[in-house]
Amino acid sequence: MSDLSIVTWNINSVRLRAERVADFLKEHQPDVLCLQEIKCREAQFPSSVFRDAGYEHIQICGQKGLHGVATVSRLPIEELTAPEFCGQGHARIAASRIGGFEIHNIYLPAGGDEPDPEINDKFAHKLDFLDRMERIYGGHSTDDPLIIVGDLNIAPQEHDVWSHKQLLKIVSHTPVETDAMARIIKAGQFTDLARREHEPGQKLYTWWSYRAKDWAAANRGRRLDHIWANPAAEPKAIPGTFRIHLDQRGGFKPSDHAPVQMTFKGA
């Protein structure tokens, strides 16, 4: 089987940016695109735009005006039952099998502004979601190749944020979140492919706030978007193919996230 290239991208409204995504697909030709925060119901998804770009297979997990994930593929999609991570009925995960790989496309809760579950229900929800991931992935088979992608809303390491010291009390980089992510990775025996490909001391970002007047000049980013592989999938991740498409953070009406890509040897 031929290689499988996968892109994950928090698009922050797929209807608003459908043509932009189609242009990206035509230029880069990934086999699979996993979108998060599509912000629409299934019937509102601009499927024709993707089919016209050559992506005839579409899996949508939508919700009115909020959240939502979708996986589009040039290869057939076998839809799988999604793990019960959310606990609140949000559209936050699509599970599928494509090209011999199980792929989980996840949009993890952001968690609000205050990193205290006692006073912030959104943060409590995020921590519960992480606890469920640790428990469920801890019992998941490592014999079959599993790839985790998505906006996981946590920048786990010191150089995954523009200032480790200044962000230690900011949601997405607090110790309770980064420790939880480390436990999930350990429980599922996952490899964080960005850090397999790049030294721990190298700054890596995938998200830059809309609030910055010049996001590139300020470069106050965070690495919130991830691609992980379990022990059966990690050896198939082709060295040198990991890429953050920084150019997609700029231009007309961009998402605040850049797409992240990795290619795997055929399963």
Instruction: Give the residue extent of every domain in the chain.
Output: 4-264
Q: What is the pLDDT of residue 249?
A: 97
Alpha carbon distance 156, 170 (integer Å): 12
User: What top-level class would CATH report for the domain 4-264?
Assistant: alpha beta
Q: What is the pLDDT of residues 213-257, one digit of tens each?
A: 899 999 999 999 999 999 999 999 999 999 999 999 999 999 999
Q: What is the pLDDT of residue 267?
A: 64
The secondary structure element, H or E, covering residue 18 is helix 14-28
Tokens of 267: 């399963």
Q: Which residue from 208, 209, 213, 178 is spatially nearest to 192, judged by alpha carbons?
A: 178
Alpha carbon distance 174, 156 (integer Å): 9
- 3-state DSSP percent of the chain in helix, strand and coil, to 5: 30, 25, 45
| Percent of the chain at pLDDT exceeding 90 | 97
Contact status, residue 168 vs residue 175, Cβ threshold 8 Å: yes
110 DSSP assignment:
-
pTM here? Answer: 0.97
Q: In what order do the strands lie in the sheet with 69-73?
A: 57-61, 69-73, 32-36, 4-10, 260-264, 243-244
Q: Any residues with CB less than 8 A from the CB of 251 and at least 6 apart, and which?
A: 20
Q: What is the pLDDT of residue 48?
A: 97
Contact status, residue 171 vs residue 178, Cβ threshold 8 Å: no
- Examine the pLDDT at 79 and tell me if it is beyond 70: yes
